[in-house]
Amino acid sequence: MPIKPFKNEPLTDFSKPANRKAMEKALEYVKVTLGREYPLSIGNEEIHTEGKLISINPSRPGQVVGVFSKANTDQAEKAVEIASTKFKEWKLVDPKKRAEYLFKAAKLMRQRKHEFSAVMIYEVGKTWPEADADTAEAIDFLEFYAREMLRYAAKQPIIKFKGEKNELKYIPLGVGIIVPPWNFALAILTGMTSAAIVAGNTVVLKPSSDSPLTGWMFFNLMREAGLPAGVINFITGSGASIGDVLVAHPKTRFVSFTGSKETGIHIYELASKIQPGQKWLKRVLIEMGGKDSIIIDDQTDLDAAAQAAVVSAFGFQGQKCSAASRVIIVEKVYDKFIEILKSKVDKITVGESDNPGNYMGPVVNKNSEEKILSYIRKGLDEGGYLICGGGKADGEGYFIQPTVIAVINPMATIAQEEIFGPVLAVIKAKDFDQALEIANNTEFGLTGGVWTKNRKKIEKAKEVFHVGNFYINRKITGALVGVHPFGGFNMSGTNSKAGGRDYLLLLMQAKAISEKISK
């Protein structure tokens, strides 16, 4: 049966009563399951340990989402060893068969999409639309990477040479360590893991300590799809306790990581060191975030631009590496734009994420809340002035008001460091050219955008604005698999371009085969 062309999973329209009711039903179903205990799963063995990792609902910190066994260093090493043993079998499985597992998992996830979304609503505080988009993206990754593997498994174009039969084939690397983030708890985890295994690798999956239940949901889904034991090995625990063991293990062949700059740099450095018995140079696929800007020109629709800035800055409480944390405004329209922006931000509702009436939910945990509030204080201490927000929002959860701060100095802390919360710095530029200079003045290079009707300015920005994902007259979040291959420059990571045609290449190696033809 021919494979249909890839098509992005549609988002759910919750204005339709049937869809709304289905989501409410899923929330009730998942609510009943909250608080259960979950094991490690290494090969065929499920392991319960004394040490526990507690996942809580950031909207209601007293509510336990799940209880997970913490792996120790011995179990981490065992997971790599089991994955290494399984790799000898898995690498020989027909790529078409490996792709079938992903297609089946996509079908199962599509059937239960609201259940997956509900888990993220409870576990990481995603609102209905944000959770739904996360699940849709996860389905997209399964569908897209399955098709990509079929493309790479097909006969590759190669120059003919008289007297020889030549071919090029792609083979897997080996054991991978998958360390996904909590902010796209399902989508990025699914993408990183499914790409690795469909390419013929085996993996140790260590989900974020803030989203272990979401990781378990995916792992269990792959078991339901029939994936053999040991292809994915599921362990939970802090990066500090088992992360270095996994990365440094001599049988680890590659590491896929999305998270903070500090952790990413540490992984990059550790993976570069050759360990006793190691036979290869490890590959690292790292995405570390950004300090993303939207430029507002004086030749644009200010209302539409302000709406795009609000969605980009405050969607999922600003907890996206692609989120707009800086708006750079040409001074000619600065005051007018600030007025429009403030009017829109003031209308944002904040509260429990399972309540569909709230545009913003909580930030992910107490430490994050405290860090974000300290950045706000720092921004004001360094001479910024508050336009709106600035503190905690009402409720028992980790709720922070959507905050906009006018920054006098483009090099101020709040204009340079990634905050990962609902805080937007606005900066005045004398003209479009200076705005571009300011946009490029950070160590990052992930996403960015411009709002202008001037074609010459657009063309210049396309060349000059140094980011991996550049957007024109639209929001700067919401990259779609296959449509917007995602990954940035500089300290934003290794530009691995998740959801693009190059991604699987990073998880395989090419083998050229030449055979002399007898006369």
Mean pLDDT of 390-398: 97
Q: What angle do CA 417, 425, 289 make, to 5 degrees?
A: 35
pLDDT confidence bin for 86, thresholds 50/70/90:
very high
For 153-166, what is the mean pLDDT? 96
What does the pLDDT read at residue 1?
A: 63
Render pLDDT for 1-15 as a digit per residue (tens, 0 to 9). 679 999 999 999 999
Distances in Å between the Cα of 434 and the Cα atoms of 107, 281, 384 are: 49, 42, 20
What b/e readout covers 274-291, taking b as 16+ CB neighbours within 10 angstroms? eeeeeeeebbbbbbbbbb
Domain boundaries, the chain: 19-288+495-512, 292-480
Query: Residue 53 pLDDT more than 70?
Result: yes
For 255-264, how does the pLDDT look when each residue is reduced to its tens digit (9 = 90+)? Answer: 999 999 999 9
Class of domain 292-480: alpha beta
What is the 3 state secondary structure string of 48-70? Answer: CCCCEEEEEECCEEEEEEEEEEC
- Reply yes or no on whether the pLDDT at 42 is more than 70: yes
Average pLDDT over every residue of 97-105: 98
* 311 pLDDT more than 70: yes
pLDDT of residue 239: 86
User: Around Cβ 17, how many Cβ atoms within 10 Å?
Assistant: 8
Nearest to 190 by CA among 219, 150, 151, 211: 219
Q: Do domains 19-288+495-512 and 292-480 have the same CATH topology?
A: no
What is the structure's pLDDT at 245? 97
pLDDT above 80 (res 470): yes
Average pLDDT, rounded, for the chain: 97
Percent of the chain's residues with pLDDT above 70? 100
Q: What gap in Å lies between CA 230 and CA 253, rounded to an integer?
A: 16
Superfamily of the domain at 19-288+495-512: Aldehyde Dehydrogenase; Chain A, domain 1 (3.40.605.10)
pLDDT for residue 221: 98
Confidence at residue 238, expressed as pLDDT on a 0 to 100 scale: 87
Any bridge partners for residue 407, and if so which?
427
- Residues serving a catalytic function are 287, 321
What pLDDT is recorded for position 2? 78
